[in-house]
Structure 1
Amino acid sequence: MARYGSSENSREEGTMVSEATVTAAEIARIAGVGPAAVSNWRRRYAEFPTPVGGTAGSPQFLLSEVVNWLEGRGRSVRITPADEVWRAMEAVRDPARPGAILASAGFRLLGEEPSRRQAGAEDGAPPLPAALSADIEDLGRKLGAAGAFEQLLHRWTEAHARQVEVTPSPVAALMCALVGSTDGDAPVSVLDPACGTGGLLLQAAGSGTTALLGQDLDRDLAAITAVRLRLHGHDVSVKPGDSLLGDAHAASRVQGVVCDLPSGQRDWGRAELGYDTRWTHGLPPKGEPELAWLQHALAHLDDGGRAVLLMSAGVAARPSGRRIRAELLRRGTLRAVVALPSGSSRTPGAHLWIVERTRAAAPPEDVLFIDVDLFVGPDAEQSGITTDWDNVRAAVTSVWHRFCEGEELDADFAASVPVTVLLSDDADVTPALHVRRESGGPVDLTCLEEDRAGWLRLLNGLPNALPAVRETPMPPTGPSEGDTSPRVSLDDLIRSGALRTWRGSTVQDTDDGATVRVPLLTLDDGLSRAGPSGHTYAAESERLREGDVLVFAAAPERARPADPREYGAVAGQGVTVLRPERASLDPWFLAGTITGGPGTGRFGAPAVTTGRRSRLDTGRLFLPVRSQEEQHRIGQAFRDIARFEESLAAVVDQGRSVARQLAEALAAGLVDPIDDRRR
């Protein structure tokens, strides 16, 4: 990469401002590593390039310095032609209008000069430098005009991820599939009143929609959507402006509306729109902007038209929106709510609402609820399992079509619920409340009785699990106020060599030659005792072994010796490891003494520092001085208490499980109670 000159020369010549910069995410992409690796490089190597701009949370580095550093360490650098063009665009963009340069590039790929009319605003996309225009045209010849723009758009959204919200393409595909007819036909006309970069409109056009309308508050995003659709060969009418306060398509009626509703709006214009004719289901409260956008969508629908809206899960249950939700149910406007898989959208636990402008004389009597997590499996996204979105889309649309046709639902991740049921209480339309797995057939009485007998055995074993104790003999001088048995601080034990301690660290993605790949025990893993769930690179000496005591951030009362399944792992962030010398300190005595006080140091001042992440303060925690034999005897009692608590938890959990099985079997009419009192 000889084209990148010395950064020192650049700084001397005063060209640093115009030189291309990269974020940490972009460094990871060109180096072919994960984002965590870049963080590790910054922390471990003093010679790593220093930031020249950006913010503390999203620093920017000179591209030339990054490339020279990577190549100096023998790492390959993958900079594509699109990367080259994007860097040149970033160097000349207007910080006040980050999207304007992308819109200008799109017009150049169309073979047009950006104009005020094309940009849809009085001050349209700015002209490009001649050299940059030539590079963009060359990229268009290599990748095709549409392909080149999509590459540049991807880099733009990556660089501005915190400012621009992009609907994931699988979610957009599902929304456009649901807005169509039950025969699979796409609506002729579709509106997106908050179109962003145009992903939903592009998906709708690909599904067969021919009349495309859009609007966005950001004039540059409106221009990006317009040029993007045109590059893909679609006609579109996109206007800039606030759809709620200044509806640019007020006279238009469409067959479908798709929209990823704006999130976090604090002032959506309620004061100015108090008597607006769109509020046919009620004036939305100030804290319910989504219900304002929903009614805006309804106002643009033809009779029989349908809107599919992506919004946060909180809209389904917030008390402030209960009255409007109830009105949507009474009129048959709300037809379905789909809970998307966790992690499938920028909003955790996002929902799709399907609403219709019904033309039926009698409103529909049922609402469909779908919980996709029950279809793909709980926590699939978090556990690293890639969701098969083609399968999800086929399953959800099939259930929706069966519901629309009045057919019986045979999916255990969906339910049809009468409106009369939903109108009770708070009109809560959260799918998880209404989708229940049905009983799988006749109950197995043998298994049920075995579970019941097993629970009784656990219960009967509890009385003998706790250790018997006696009062500690008083010292010969007798008790006196403030007097305690001899004690020693953890700091003293550390200085004497009887105890070693360290705190767990963050994940390391790469091996620097002095580390090995080992299992990682996170804070959640330790608290749940589920065993290590990840991997990292760490020094061999830091791996957990028998006798190590684990102390957990914000929960020191749950300190314990490491379990056998945790041996060989390393501690992650929030986990402190205490390694006693077995000849002088018993692990169970150490752990039990730490847990002896609820949140305070045993025999001393508070031993947990408060703050963003609590940790153990070894200078404020004291242990009583006991002989090795006494430590072992007391440690065994602590072990018995810990086992009792585990058994007690098992009794509670298993008892609840047995009770639930019995209740479900009785409710389903599969069993009858035996009443011994009738004998």
Structure 2
Amino acid sequence: MPQSALVTAAEISRLAGVTRATVSNWRRRHPDFPAPTGGTEASPAYDLAAVRTWLANRGQLPDSSPADELRTALRAAEADHAARTRLLPLVLAASRLPEEARRTLAELPDHRLPAGAREAARPCAGQLPDIGEPTYRADEVPLLRALLRCVAQAGALPTLDVLAEGTVDDTSTSGAYLTPAPVAELMAGLLAEPGEAYPEQVLDPACGAGGLLAAAATRGARELSGQDLAPAQAAQAAVRLLLLAGDATVRVRVGDSLRDDGYPSVTADAVLCAPPYGQRDWGHDDLAYDSRWVFGLPPKGESELAWLQHCLARLAPGRRAVLLLPPATAERPSGRRIRAEMLRHGALRAVVALPAGVAPPLHVGLHVWLLQRPHPQAATPGHVLFVDTAAPPEPHRAGEPESRRPTVSDWSAVRATALAAWADFDRHPDAFDPIPGTARAVAVIDLLDEAVDLTPARHVRTPVPVRPDELAEAAYGLRRRLRRAVSGLSALSGGGDWPPAGATARTWRTATVADLLRGEALTLLRAPAATRGPQPADRDTATPRTLTARDVLAHRPASGAADDDPAGAEVPIEVGDVVLPELLHHGGGTARVADARDAGLFLGRHLYLLRPDPARLDPWFLAGFLAAEDNLTAASSGTSVIRVDPRRLRVPLLPLAEQQRYGRAFRQLNAVRVAADLANRLAGETARTLAAGLTGGALLPPDSPVEGTR
């Protein structure tokens, strides 16, 4: 009998469909909650069977989905990477069985099910790389039944995703990362040519779980070839592609494409690749005389340039490749000689800079390189397209504040910008109309300087001449908005006097937030601490879904995308919630009272959410006293990074009517602060625009100076 699995608090929250804060409350308030049986003091683990029994007795155990049951069975069976990989042929086989045959297989007696599953999976195992003869043990019967039920009820692809949760290696140290689906779709879209059929034969020499090839398959690629160093990833890629494009030719091999190329004689119609980054052991010494290095032997620290040349070597002449690369590839001094040779031969056609956060590593804005293998009978291209989707909009053109930069939530706009710019350039490479601050075609001769820097921002943010009348109109619009903002600030800062409290300052009894939590006048919530995988762009929406710490500090609307949390424990914001940053910035703090615009958004990281009982606490009163400088200082700790302990913050004990009186005052102060921030931003943008017009010769000084400047 297999031993019951252990689950963390995050997994319990997912199992029960509640937040992790609720699980924490259960642990504190209910003596009969199961005691930890493993894990560590900081992250205890609990017996799954005991937790399920406790939840069921309290009516807190919702009906589990087939995917949840499969996860539970995998934990109970202690399925490691190898065990999960052994199940892949059965997923493929079950998806191909008729419904009646699949039901018959799932209902086999326990002593016959392992053999039945093995016979069903055997024909599919030969289609997967390095799988071998499938074997299933008698003690895996519950796991096999859970998998078959998941395929029947949820589908084969969701079942594959559950198995993949435990087989993705820790790739953060190897420089290999999963490519989010929207980024993969963008890369695949760059291979499409208007009026032409989509490339039929597509290769990915570092395919991972097959996301890029899957994106190509959805656009019409019929021959899909991949290779990956990790056997589990390669097997997942094969299953995914066979499920998505069963009528296509699918070939996936295991191995290092640089050292042991699985397709040495292939000349593909297209290549898609997101190679591992920063690998110093890519084979520099062993491959010094390899024929693929037509632009030069890549330096030991430039593995990305080796992958670039490998991808070009696998293309037919005139065909194209799209790669996802770190920004350092465009400007590192050690790679300038190879970059120069690629430019001279016309191999580089475009570089697109993506905003930080759309693909891991999340703190870096990655680049998409579009290459073309030179054709011996074609003219060498004379221009390279640079697109910076993270650049601020051109203020002289739109008259908008410079702070309006694209974010992860603007992914649809990022995608549209990149595809439109490339399509326009591809049609007229020598007559591309630049998009100020976003896209520009640069002559190859202008790129061949000492640095050979191919960073898009270096080229697209070069000042573009503007018409004086357009700039004057934009400046007038900014000045008009500034005057309105200043008038609004003046009106808000007026009103009646704020009288003194008396001869001495008023004092009152206070309670800590911890006391209010115990008295259930407040609920304290936090966002999940970690995500399952680096796929921030998977939830592609037209509007932001997460309120970030920067949004709270800057008094601005939400700007973050939703995270994919392992426990499904996102914290939705409600009207009246008080949001407080975890870190103390410049000795001061702020608190935000959620309104209708924030309702339904998710709470971002490094934020606390305090949900008051409206019958006992006024939210604006609470926010005002929580954000008091003395209060925050007394509840903070640390030196360079100062963290606030919200439970130590103190709140006066006042009747609700008196709280509401203070709350109205704090609400007015918040309105003044927001109006002042807007006026400050508009003043800075107006001054920058007018100064640029004067120094660029597009504007003239006014005939008479403004009062106060003499």
Q: Summarize deviations over 1:340-392 as a string: whole Å, max 9, x none.
A: 3443323322322111112164422222223334699966656xx4744xx76
Q: Summarize deviations over 1:537-560 as a string: whole Å, max 9, x none.
A: 89x9x979xxxxx99846554479
CA shift, 1:258, in A, is 0.7
Q: Quickly say closer, same or farther: Cα 1:238–1:335, change in 2 above 3 A.
A: same
| Structure 2 counterpart of 1:396, one-letter code | A
Q: Which residue is equivalent to 2:183? A: 171
Residue 366 of structure 1 contacts residue 419 of structure 1 at CA under 8 Å; is this kept in 2? yes
Q: Which residue is equivalent to 1:112? A: 121
Q: Quickly say closer, same or farther: Cα 1:543–1:114, change in 2 above 3 A.
A: same
Q: Summarize deviations over 1:495-534 as a string: whole Å, max 9, x none.
A: x9898777999xx9xx996436999998646654659999
Q: Which residue is equivalent to 1:660? A: 688
Q: Quickly say closer, same or farther: Cα 1:270–1:445, change in 2 above 3 A.
A: same
Query: Are 2:175 and 1:150 equivalent residues in the alignment?
Result: no
Q: How does 1:303-342 map to 2 (within 5 A)?
A: 303-342=317-356
CA shift, 1:100, in A, is 1.6
SS at match of 1:338: strand
Q: Which residue is equivalent to 1:582? A: none
Percent identity between the two aligned chains = 36
Q: How does 1:29-48 map to 2 (within 5 A)?
A: 29-33=14-18
TM-score by length of 2: 0.63
Q: State how far apart, in whole Å, the 1-side matches of 2:526 and 2:142 are.
A: 48
SS at match of 1:255: strand
Residue 553 of structure 1 contacts residue 575 of structure 1 at CA under 8 Å; is this kept in 2? no
Residue 229 of structure 1 contacts residue 235 of structure 1 at CA under 8 Å; is this kept in 2? no
Q: Which residue is equivalent to 1:623? A: none
Q: Quickly say closer, same or farther: Cα 1:117–1:671, change in 2 above 3 A.
A: same
Q: State how far apart, in whole Å, the 2-side matches of 1:559 and 1:141 are.
A: 51
Q: Quickly say closer, same or farther: Cα 1:156–1:36, change in 2 above 3 A.
A: farther
Query: After the TM superposition, which of the residue ranges 76-85 and 232-241 deviates more from structure 2?
Result: 76-85
| Structure 2 counterpart of 1:157, one-letter code | A
| Structure 2 counterpart of 1:296, one-letter code | H
Q: Which residue is equivalent to 1:372? A: 389
Query: Are 2:359 and 1:345 equivalent residues in the alignment?
Result: yes
Q: Which residue is equivalent to 2:141? A: 131
Q: Which residue is equivalent to 2:448? A: 423
Point out which structure has higher relative CO (alpha carbons under 8 A, 6+ apart). Answer: 2
Q: State how far apart, in whole Å, the 1-side matches of 2:300 and 2:381 are.
A: 29
Residue 475 of structure 2 contacts residue 686 of structure 2 at CA under 8 Å; is this kept in 1? no
| Structure 2 counterpart of 1:402, one-letter code | D
Q: Which residue is equivalent to 1:363? A: 380
Q: Quickly say closer, same or farther: Cα 1:594–1:51, change in 2 above 3 A.
A: closer
Q: How does 1:236-251 map to 2 (within 5 A)?
A: 236-251=250-265
Q: State how far apart, in whole Å, the 1-side matches of 2:269 and 2:609 are.
A: 59
Q: State how far apart, in whole Å, the 1-side matches of 2:352 and 2:129 are.
A: 35
Q: Quickly say closer, same or farther: Cα 1:420–1:210, change in 2 above 3 A.
A: same
- Select the residue among 264, 270, 277 that pairs with 2:284: 270
SS at match of 2:385: strand
SS at match of 2:242: helix
Q: Which residue is equivalent to 1:207? A: 219
Query: Are 2:59 and 1:74 equivalent residues in the alignment?
Result: yes
Q: Quickly say closer, same or farther: Cα 1:449–1:156, change in 2 above 3 A.
A: closer
CA shift, 1:334, in A, is 1.7
| Structure 2 counterpart of 1:404, one-letter code | D
Q: How does 1:396-415 map to 2 (within 5 A)?
A: 396-406=418-428, 408-409=432-433, 413-415=438-440
Q: Quickly say closer, same or farther: Cα 1:362–1:86, change in 2 above 3 A.
A: same
Q: Summarize deviations over 1:588-635 as a string: whole Å, max 9, x none.
A: xx959999xxxxx9xxxxx9643764569xxxxxxxxxxxxxxxxxxx
Q: State how far apart, in whole Å, the 2-side matches of 1:673 and 1:178 are.
A: 46
| Structure 2 counterpart of 1:265, one-letter code | Q
Q: Which residue is equivalent to 1:354? A: 370
Q: Which residue is equivalent to 1:640? A: none
Q: Which residue is equivalent to 1:183? A: 195
Q: Which residue is equivalent to 2:639? A: 610
CA shift, 1:300, in A, is 0.7
TM-score by length of 1: 0.66
In structure 2, the gaps of 5 or more residues are 97-119, 172-176, 394-402, 487-506, 528-546, 561-570, 611-624, 646-671, 705-710
Q: State how far apart, in whole Å, the 1-side matches of 2:593 and 2:142 are.
A: 61
- Select the residue among 431, 434, 448 that pairs with 2:459: 434
Q: State how far apart, in whole Å, the 1-side matches of 2:373 and 2:194 are.
A: 16
Q: State how far apart, in whole Å, the 2-side matches of 1:501 and 1:555 are.
A: 22
Q: State how far apart, in whole Å, the 2-side matches of 1:272 and 1:55 are.
A: 45
Q: Quickly say closer, same or farther: Cα 1:54–1:659, change in 2 above 3 A.
A: same
CA shift, 1:89, in A, is 4.1
Q: Quickly say closer, same or farther: Cα 1:38–1:310, change in 2 above 3 A.
A: farther
In structure 1, the gaps of 5 or more residues are 1-13, 459-495, 545-549, 578-586, 596-600, 602-606, 617-642
Q: State how far apart, in whole Å, the 2-side matches of 1:55 and 1:418 are.
A: 60
Aligned length: 567
Q: Summarize deviations over 1:228-280 as a string: whole Å, max 9, x none.
A: 33344132111111111111111211111111222453532323223322222
| Structure 1 counterpart of 2:286, one-letter code | E
CA shift, 1:283, in A, is 2.7
Q: Quickly say closer, same or farther: Cα 1:41–1:150, change in 2 above 3 A.
A: farther
SS at match of 1:443: helix
Q: State how far apart, in whole Å, the 1-side matches of 2:262 and 2:474 are.
A: 68
Q: Which residue is equivalent to 1:604? A: none
CA shift, 1:432, in A, is 3.4
Residue 290 of structure 1 contacts residue 311 of structure 1 at CA under 8 Å; is this kept in 2? yes
Q: State how far apart, in whole Å, the 2-side matches of 1:293 and 1:159 are.
A: 28
Residue 114 of structure 1 contacts residue 125 of structure 1 at CA under 8 Å; is this kept in 2? no
Residue 100 of structure 1 contacts residue 220 of structure 1 at CA under 8 Å; is this kept in 2? yes
SS at match of 2:121: coil
Q: State how far apart, in whole Å, the 2-side matches of 1:99 and 1:263 are.
A: 27
Q: Quickly say closer, same or farther: Cα 1:651–1:503, change in 2 above 3 A.
A: farther
Q: Which residue is equivalent to 2:130? A: 121
Q: State how far apart, in whole Å, the 1-side matches of 2:361 and 2:294 are.
A: 28
SS at match of 1:112: helix
Q: State how far apart, in whole Å, the 2-side matches of 1:536 and 1:206 are.
A: 34
Q: Quickly say closer, same or farther: Cα 1:23–1:665, change in 2 above 3 A.
A: same
Q: Quickly say closer, same or farther: Cα 1:610–1:121, change in 2 above 3 A.
A: same
Q: Quickly say closer, same or farther: Cα 1:208–1:50, change in 2 above 3 A.
A: farther
Query: Are 2:235 and 1:223 equivalent residues in the alignment?
Result: yes
Q: Quickly say closer, same or farther: Cα 1:611–1:150, change in 2 above 3 A.
A: same
Residue 244 of structure 1 contacts residue 268 of structure 1 at CA under 8 Å; is this kept in 2? yes
Q: Quickly say closer, same or farther: Cα 1:97–1:75, change in 2 above 3 A.
A: same
Q: State how far apart, in whole Å, the 1-side matches of 2:189 and 2:609 are.
A: 50
Q: How does 1:586-625 map to 2 (within 5 A)?
A: 609-610=638-639, 613=642
Residue 94 of structure 1 contacts residue 101 of structure 1 at CA under 8 Å; is this kept in 2? no
CA shift, 1:404, in A, is 0.8
SS at match of 1:346: coil
| Structure 1 counterpart of 2:459, one-letter code | H
Q: State how far apart, in whole Å, the 2-side matches of 1:200 and 1:372 are.
A: 21
Q: Quickly say closer, same or farther: Cα 1:253–1:575, change in 2 above 3 A.
A: closer
Residue 308 of structure 1 contacts residue 355 of structure 1 at CA under 8 Å; is this kept in 2? yes
CA shift, 1:34, in A, is 5.6
Q: State how far apart, in whole Å, the 2-side matches of 1:666 and 1:273 are.
A: 57
CA shift, 1:448, in A, is 5.0
Q: Quickly say closer, same or farther: Cα 1:312–1:174, change in 2 above 3 A.
A: same
Q: Quickly say closer, same or farther: Cα 1:298–1:101, change in 2 above 3 A.
A: same
Q: Which residue is equivalent to 1:547? A: none
Q: State how far apart, in whole Å, the 1-side matches of 2:74 and 2:631 are.
A: 62
Q: Quickly say closer, same or farther: Cα 1:210–1:503, change in 2 above 3 A.
A: same
Q: How does 1:492-571 map to 2 (within 5 A)?
A: 514-515=521-522, 524=550, 527-528=553-554, 553=583, 555=585, 557-558=587-588
SS at match of 1:186: coil
